[in-house]
Structure 1
């Protein structure tokens, strides 16, 4: 029973990732209105009514802004850390599951491991998903790759990895100095070079899918991200660049004893370069 995953959108204007296995489908983050979430899920052949739960990485509006309304309309349980719950008032929720101490938990056939990450949020977490010999890591919104992060995400079969900014573009860009320090700091976002360094250390030749995500439209470009990650992208079986407008379509993670279907080694997900965020 393979893990499948797809994105509703990736960037500062809204995030949401679907992770499915067997009869269960999870939505990680929701930074869109109900109507927009329904539209984006329909494009992927899914509906909020299909969801088993919503998982939240942290309280920033591009990740959590739509969680409360969607959970209330569709009566969905929400999984999040206590710090994230306290950090943002999203009203009453039908059912809350607190992720205490970043301990693993199970939803259907999916084992979920929350991983603490350095980000400017109250108690941010990213996630590793495992099912029957296959694993998927979602790793965005962090300013530093710590040994703890590397130990959890270094051996995933598929990885969604942030490459948010180019340091030179950030330094010369339109953001005020305080925001530049925040984005480029230890609790901000990963640069192209930080993402490439992580992949160089852990290797990418074992990756069935490498998805480069959360690319800033003001402080990065598709060309710069592709150049910085070219070595890792060439070694991964399949590499795509997620976009803000359409995210990316369903991808499947094969178990260790099943060879993945051949794919193009490098591709863009559903949108031209100017749609990247």
Structure 2
């Protein structure tokens, strides 16, 4: 089992998880041509996608899902709230599956455990995936963490986790006051410090790869996110990967 990022940030998000012949795309924030190009960097083609899992309806996570799903005839899985919210903007999808964000299910050999997160989407969730031997979770777009998240994410072998902003940079930056309140609020995005506090409290004894994700280009810097997460995990900063907006993140093997 392995994971990679096609890109992560406010201009588009997509995470690839692969186990054997099963390849899942978590979110689809890029159009068809850009998704093909970014998959190509990983040695993959659109035709290899098994399913698309959506976390919520914000454009940086779903902007390309309609066109990509139709181009590749890829089924889409999401909560009823997410599907209802994005319906006007994506057109007809080739195959749709409604999920309960408290009910696990399986696609081929991958077990998928969705879990709700506090964000200002209509029915936001994130995902833990396992092939039976290793566990990976992609977790972004949440304003605060929960005890339920700590239970679900304990013992992961791989984590891609939100480090959206440095709070001092955000509050001292040029964003309008209302946007600062939204980003820094309980249903916005996690700061480096909040992410580090949560990760420090998590059982990370099996962790092989950690990637900081959804970094703000205006209100964060990779070195700040790396330093915060290295402090939480007790490792060197260069062990922390960063899922970049443009370059994404190459394959991280969990086996």
Question: Take 2:234 and 2:201, find their aligned partners in 1: how far apart are those partners?
Answer: 15
CA shift for structure 1 position 75: 0.9
CA shift for structure 1 position 226: 2.1
Corresponding residue of 1:38: 36
List alignment gaps of at least 5 residues for structure 1: 255-277
Moved over 6 A (4+): none
Counterparts of 1:100-111 in structure 2, within 5 Å, are 100-111=100-111
Question: Take 2:119 and 2:101, find their aligned partners in 1: how far apart are those partners?
Answer: 17
Structure 2 residue 223 is matched with structure 1 residue 223: yes
Question: Take 2:133 and 2:232, find their aligned partners in 1: how far apart are those partners?
Answer: 23
Structure 2 residue 238 is matched with structure 1 residue 240: no
Question: Take 2:208 and 2:241, find their aligned partners in 1: how far apart are those partners?
Answer: 11
Counterparts of 1:197-216 in structure 2, within 5 Å, are 197-216=197-216
CA contact (8 A) 1:204 1:235 kept: no
Moved more, 235-244 or 128-137: 235-244
CA shift for structure 1 position 132: 2.2
Per-residue CA distance 1:159-217 (angstroms, 9 max, x = gap): 00100001111101111111101100000000000111011111434310011111111
CA shift for structure 1 position 36: 0.4
SS in 1 for 2:201: helix
CA contact (8 A) 1:212 1:242 kept: yes
CA contact (8 A) 2:164 2:191 kept: yes
Corresponding residue of 2:130: 130
CA contact (8 A) 2:212 2:226 kept: no
Q: Aligned residue pairs: how many? A: 252
CA contact (8 A) 1:204 1:232 kept: no
Question: Take 1:160 and 1:17, find their aligned partners in 2: how far apart are those partners?
Answer: 9
CA contact (8 A) 1:233 1:239 kept: no
SS in 2 for 1:11: coil
Match of 2:57 among 50, 59, 62: 59
List alignment gaps of at least 5 residues for structure 2: none
SS in 2 for 1:20: strand
Corresponding residue of 1:10: 8
Question: Take 2:239 and 2:116, find their aligned partners in 1: how far apart are those partners?
Answer: 27
SS in 2 for 1:245: coil
Question: Take 1:129 and 1:235, find their aligned partners in 2: how far apart are those partners?
Answer: 25
CA RMSD of aligned residues (A): 1.4
Using structure 2 for the length normalisation, give the TM-score: 0.95
CA shift for structure 1 position 50: 0.3
CA contact (8 A) 1:156 1:207 kept: yes
